[in-house]
Structure 1
Amino acid sequence: MSTPKVLLLTPPFTQLNTPYPATAYIKGFLNTLGVVSHQADLGIEVILKLFSAQGLTQLFDVLEKAEHDIELTENAFRVYHLRDEYIATIEPVISFLQNKNPTLAHSICDRAYLPEASRFKDVEDLDWAFGTMGTQDKARHLATLYLEDLGDFLQEAIDPHFGFSRYAERLGRTATHFDELLAELQKPDTLITVFLHELLEQKMGVLQPTTVCLSVPFPGNLFGALKCGQYLKKHYPDVKIVMGGGFCNTELRSLSDPRVFDYLDFVCLDDGEAPLRTLLEYLEEKRSLSSLKRTFARTDNQVVYYNGASEKDVAQRDTGTPDYSDLFLLDYLSVIEIVNPMHRLWSDGRWNKLTLAHGCYWGKCSFCDISLDYIKNYEPLTAALICDRIEEIIAKTQQNGFHFVDEAAPPALLRDVAIEIIRRKLTVVWWTNIRFEKNFTHDLSLLLKASGCIAMSGGLEVASDRLLAMMKKGVTVGQVARVADGFTQAGIMVHAYLMYGFPTQTAQETIDSLEMVRQLFENGVLQSGFWHRFA
């Protein structure tokens, strides 16, 4: 068997502004094994190919050459009517959103440069959000609306599955069986999947991998992953295809349909390092199929779960530093979709993503599946190792913004990391997710701010002590308010995750929660919040 060469792919679509970190984590681990690997974010590459002068020309040509008339809404027809303006402006706008063409902001803000459709209908006075001097941010918001107009047109006229941060999400989210996905996979390719296949072919031709790993963190890139697998099975039948990621960990634990393996060879669950290592050893004929770790495969037309490996999972200290090489880090798009300060952190600017601790140190919330390995197995790193990795990533990417992507960052570890950042005199800008627990004192908030913390997000959930107790959150509304106020006074922005529709929650409790959150905003304790429906 030849020496393994691994290609790590993120299929369309996840984020516009920054790469999803899973492939960087796995590449960092493969570096420790001496395994040759490359990675690519096919999501951003498809977006850049599509939203170019040539890409839009092809898009509009699809309509003009259609064998039958396509009935368009008034809004979609407006976009089509303005197609020459979109083709002429798209590349300067993309360059602006990549922070490569900042002076274009003045033309965009004049409202005479960009063609406008329905996304602009509610845009009036933006000075309340951006001020009179916030030209760059205002232009970024308008340019985002311009892209969303094109996205709406694309979804209506060309490919109903399109979304900037998700592709065929409904198919993945509602997939209780494989029939609907299979039906969609057998339909003719759209312009998006044609572009996807062209980019995949380029990677395969240049890199010639023996194994392709598809990272599927969300329902919105499951279909893209299967389209990649479909292409590879047809054109590269000897290449082994592996799928893993958050979607697999939560939704495919009972995988039983053998037809899935017409598009894949293996599906791995939970932390990917040990399963991938055992799989590569199997492909090199160094271990048996039965001694794989947490891996589904098709054997005799039956789906079999192989978990006979004696090795434990790889300790977090031994997984290596996430490696972002190969990714087009300067080509991501900084967008401002809505005027919300925390939402901006998710969509504007590129963040190096790093984990402080594996799992959740609390591990009790009733709405969380604490049986999953990536939640129940808590394993913190040391502050020294975390800062070593921070310095290594800064040296490689030349960017010092970090999003610590923990389920809930532990206050004691955050304290130690903050002290170590300050001791090493590192310039770091960072944010993370927390529980609003009492150990986040005002003094600790000041320390975290001094180390570069700019924002915290955490679950207030229902703003009801009765329901918080039912959820086993381990916090009260009053405690959340005190902790959030401490962060705010230290100059750290606070975002609250909120939910409605929790079992036994009454209409009055929902109203009371709304009022409580309104008061927290009015008193400046919270700066951002988002309501999710409990499901």
Structure 2
Amino acid sequence: MNAAPKTLLITPPLTQLNTPYPATAYIKGFLRGRGFDVTQADFGLELVLRLFSRRGLNQVFQAILEGTHELSDNSQRMLRLRKSYLDTVEPVIKFLQGRDSTLAHPIAMGAFLPEASRFLQLADLEEAFGTMGITDRARHLATLYLEDLADLIKETVCPHFGFSRYADKLALSATSFDPLENELQTAPNLVDQLLLEILDERMQEVQPEVVGFSVPFPGNLYGALRLAQFIKQKYPHVKTLMGGGYPNTELRTLREPRIFKYIDFITLDDGEGPWLRLMEYFQGQRAVEQLQRTFLLQNGEVQYINGSTDADIPHTEVGTPDYSDLKLLEYLSVVEVLNPMHRLWSDGRWNKLTVAHGCYWKRCSFCDITLDYISRYETAPATLLVDRIEQIIAQTGQTGFHFVDEAAPPLALRDLAIELLRRGVKITWWGNIRFEKTFSADLCRLLAASGCIAVSGGLEVASDRLLAKMEKGVSIAQVARVTRDFTAAGIMVHAYLMYGFPTQTAQETIDSLEVVRQLFEQNVIQSGYWHRFSMTAHSPVGKNPEKYGVVKVGPEPGLFADNDLWHEDPQGADHELFGAGLAKALYNYMHGIGLEEPLSFWFDFKVPRASHPKNMIAQAVEAIGKPDSEKQNLRVLWLGNAPEMEVVTKTKKGRTFQNALLTFTEKTEEYEIRTSPEVGQWLHTWLTRLSEDLGTKYLIKDLAADYPEGQQFTFQEFLITDTWLDLRERGLLVV
């Protein structure tokens, strides 16, 4: 294989139904930029489309009828309704793809879809449905319909099936490869067979010499190995590669030789460099000893090769993700849950892009900060990012972006927003941030003007003691103020919440819930999700549990995965008790319900009273920031249009005087500002300049230096006049 190998990149099932996972698009864009012939496919989507078709579903029903499955009452009901399912499955898929909107009415009105157990929850959702339109309601009902079918499939022909994961339990905390190997030695089930049909068709169409699997999550591993097994059986000359989030976190100490029956090379961390070195190796341009961050099998032993002297590919050189080959118009916009942020995740087509590589904070003690995807922080200039955005829009026709950074840097987002506005590039975007003080009210307004609709960030334990212990770098009061400013700018805020952090007491858990209650009460967050703390091998807690007051109790090291660690928390509460109550309270708070209830209402056991004052968050959000007079070195931006100006002469009681009249015409309003002719001319000059020249950085001190002399107010005094404050309210930003 001395010519450039033809390569097929595969995302194995399953990740998301509404949008492609971006890893293969990144690798394809990078390798194609270096002259390689690369094709990609999302087998998760293709499997779902094949399974949820009349033909695929008929195969499911036939297999059930011919099998010896013990069927629940629910499955028996669905089997009796099989004709209704066969008649509706393709119209439902077409509706969720946005190709037949007229189905919204019959679905939403009932009697179109056969209903099974998932529809029993509808009674609890009627209040939420009251705020949903016909199309949203129909999409939610169609999603329940698909979930009913998924339940049937899981109960019968494929116990591992799920819409966002496939056999994930086989890979979770898998220190031993035995469960996966045992499953791979069984005959493929019906869903496996459909998956292998798709693979065989694609192999014959593309005729690749290399097949690369991106395995981001445990739920993608079994599918990747089942596919690779088929390749080795039918196309033994083809080389198989694997990279992605799962090997990056789980397989760093890999010693298990059996996985190499299926996968020839497993790479760690960013794939661009290691996969480029492998391509060079396949072409005979590089010795095996010069590979980069790659596991392989030599003489029956697992070897880790990292002899390359080449540097990592910088973030500025990874190129633009290339979404060609992916069936972008066939993804499904589902409405799984009514959590507004989770809905963004599963509803609509989002182009995924990274603002910066790694995390600029990289201190949180629960996070895998020792790994490359966190620890190596690199930025790219805003001009390059917007170039990439424009290229992706041109290719996909979609203007929605999900920035998938661990925590997008505020100053990089500021520069990105300014560049988007400067070029007039209209996008809708959301992403993950840290609730840090750099996100001022004006920066939030700037981000909103550039298209930001939502942010998610970690409040985590909502306890100042524990926030300090986990080195989060924020306080509760700071989070309250930042979320206030995002909300005021019209940006939805989702809070990642954590319970069970080392040494967290019952009192601190209840106090955390009280903070969350008050945040919802003040309407400064609109969405949230509780996560139970998990100790991982690559986090500071996992590397030094004694420092954090916990004891590692397992698992025993094995030859395969090593990431999730078991621990005991002798100083903390019985964290298991609190999960259900915390989730129930949060669900209700998101719907504005139960905010007046005592916290004990959500638990079926005795809990302590909250120790925080009832107005703790209210006081925090009332805090006022620095006055503009103390921001001399910050940049000034004007989001409005250039005003028109005229000088108006008036005579009153024999005295003649002049005023400047500035008239502003904006999208939804017109308004006027009156001031002295000199200040009016100064404002007209600067607002015109600021509206027309977003490429030049003007500071408050630049405006001060040009302020006309001899006015009623000095410049410092002018910064607190009604004229200035009115302009600040209407789009004059200081960032």
- CA shift digits 1:268-310 (9 cap, x unpaired): 0000011001111111111111110000000000000000000
Distance 1:132 1:321, change over 3 A: closer
2:367 maps to 368
Assess if the C-alpha contact under 8 Å between 1:126 and 1:138 holds in 2.
Answer: no
Q: Distance in 1 between matches of 2:330 and 2:357?
A: 30
Assess if the C-alpha contact under 8 Å between 2:97 and 2:330 holds in 1.
Answer: yes
2:239 maps to 240
1:522 maps to 521
- CA shift digits 1:215-246 (9 cap, x unpaired): 00000010000001100000010100000000
1:136 maps to 135
Note the residue ranges of structure 1 that are not aligned, 5 or more in a row: none
SS in 2 for 1:15: coil
Query: What is the CA distance between 1:126 and its match in structure 2?
Result: 4.9
2:282 maps to 283
2:306 maps to 307
Assess if the C-alpha contact under 8 Å between 2:497 and 2:528 holds in 1.
Answer: yes
- CA shift digits 1:127-178 (9 cap, x unpaired): 6324377000000001000000001111001111000010001111131111
2:656 maps to none
Q: Distance in 2 between matches of 1:162 and 1:204?
A: 24
Q: Distance in 1 between matches of 2:218 and 2:128?
A: 33
1:407 maps to 406
Q: Distance in 1 between matches of 2:63 and 2:206?
A: 31
| 2:49 matches 1:48 | yes
Q: Distance in 2 between matches of 1:126 and 1:502?
A: 32
- CA shift digits 1:104-131 (9 cap, x unpaired): 0100011111000111112027563243
Q: Which letter does structure 1 place at the counterpart of 2:91?
A: P
Query: What is the CA distance between 1:355 and its match in structure 2?
Result: 0.4
Query: What is the CA distance between 1:31 and its match in structure 2?
Result: 1.6
| 2:419 matches 1:420 | yes
Assess if the C-alpha contact under 8 Å between 2:458 and 2:497 holds in 1.
Answer: yes
2:583 maps to none
Note the residue ranges of structure 2 that are not aligned, 5 or more in a row: 535-735
2:153 maps to 154
- CA shift digits 1:15-71 (9 cap, x unpaired): 0100000000000101211100000000000000000011100000001222xx311
2:665 maps to none
Assess if the C-alpha contact under 8 Å between 1:359 and 1:373 holds in 2.
Answer: yes
Query: What is the CA distance between 1:498 and its match in structure 2?
Result: 0.5
Q: Distance in 1 between matches of 2:41 and 2:358?
A: 27
Assess if the C-alpha contact under 8 Å between 2:294 and 2:304 holds in 1.
Answer: yes
1:164 maps to 163
1:449 maps to 448
2:354 maps to 355
TM-score (norm 1): 0.99
Structure with higher Rg: it is 2
Percent sequence identity is: 62
SS in 1 for 2:438: coil
Q: Distance in 1 between matches of 2:88 and 2:61?
A: 15
Q: Distance in 2 between matches of 1:433 and 1:3?
A: 38
Q: Distance in 2 between matches of 1:530 and 1:174?
A: 23
SS in 2 for 1:353: strand
Distance 1:341 1:133, change over 3 A: closer
Structural mapping, 1:83-102, within 5 Å:
83-102=82-101
2:204 maps to 205
1:9 maps to 10
2:37 maps to 36
Assess if the C-alpha contact under 8 Å between 1:31 and 1:320 holds in 2.
Answer: no
Q: Distance in 2 between matches of 1:125 and 1:112?
A: 19
SS in 1 for 2:101: coil
| 2:266 matches 1:263 | no
Query: What is the CA distance between 1:352 and its match in structure 2?
Result: 0.2
SS in 2 for 1:70: coil
Q: Distance in 1 between matches of 2:193 and 2:153?
A: 14
Q: Distance in 1 between matches of 2:514 and 2:4?
A: 62
Q: Distance in 1 between matches of 2:17 and 2:384?
A: 30
Q: Which letter does structure 1 place at the counterpart of 2:90?
A: E
Assess if the C-alpha contact under 8 Å between 1:282 and 1:288 holds in 2.
Answer: yes
- CA shift digits 1:179-225 (9 cap, x unpaired): 11100111111111101111001111011111000000000010000
394-403 or 77-86: bigger deviation: 77-86
| 2:328 matches 1:342 | no
Q: Distance in 2 between matches of 1:151 and 1:96?
A: 18
170-179 or 357-366: bigger deviation: 170-179
Assess if the C-alpha contact under 8 Å between 2:4 and 2:279 holds in 1.
Answer: no
Q: Distance in 2 between matches of 1:133 and 1:227?
A: 41
- CA shift digits 1:289-333 (9 cap, x unpaired): 111000000000000000000000111111110000000001001
Structural mapping, 1:389-400, within 5 Å:
389-400=388-399
Query: What is the CA distance between 1:372 and its match in structure 2?
Result: 0.6
Q: Which letter does structure 2 place at the counterpart of 1:359?
A: G
Query: What is the CA distance between 1:461 and its match in structure 2?
Result: 0.2
2:476 maps to 477
Q: Which letter does structure 1 place at the counterpart of 2:193?
A: V
TM-score (norm 2): 0.72
2:186 maps to 187
Q: Which letter does structure 2 place at the counterpart of 1:129?
A: A
Query: What is the CA distance between 1:3 and its match in structure 2?
Result: 2.6
SS in 1 for 2:25: helix
Assess if the C-alpha contact under 8 Å between 1:32 and 1:319 holds in 2.
Answer: no
SS in 1 for 2:121: coil
Structural mapping, 1:43-122, within 5 Å:
43-66=44-67, 69-122=68-121
Q: Distance in 2 between matches of 1:354 and 1:132?
A: 31
Q: Which letter does structure 2 place at the counterpart of 1:527?
A: Q
- CA shift digits 1:478-510 (9 cap, x unpaired): 100100010001000000001111110011111
Q: Which has the higher contact order (CA 8 A, sep 6+)?
A: 1
Distance 1:133 1:292, change over 3 A: closer
SS in 2 for 1:187: coil
Q: Which letter does structure 1 place at the counterpart of 2:4?
A: T
Q: Distance in 2 between matches of 1:26 and 1:222?
A: 19
SS in 1 for 2:387: helix
SS in 2 for 1:33: coil
SS in 2 for 1:167: coil
Q: Distance in 2 between matches of 1:327 and 1:31?
A: 15
Q: Which letter does structure 2 place at the counterpart of 1:163?
A: G
Query: What is the CA distance between 1:518 and its match in structure 2?
Result: 1.1
Distance 1:126 1:369, change over 3 A: closer
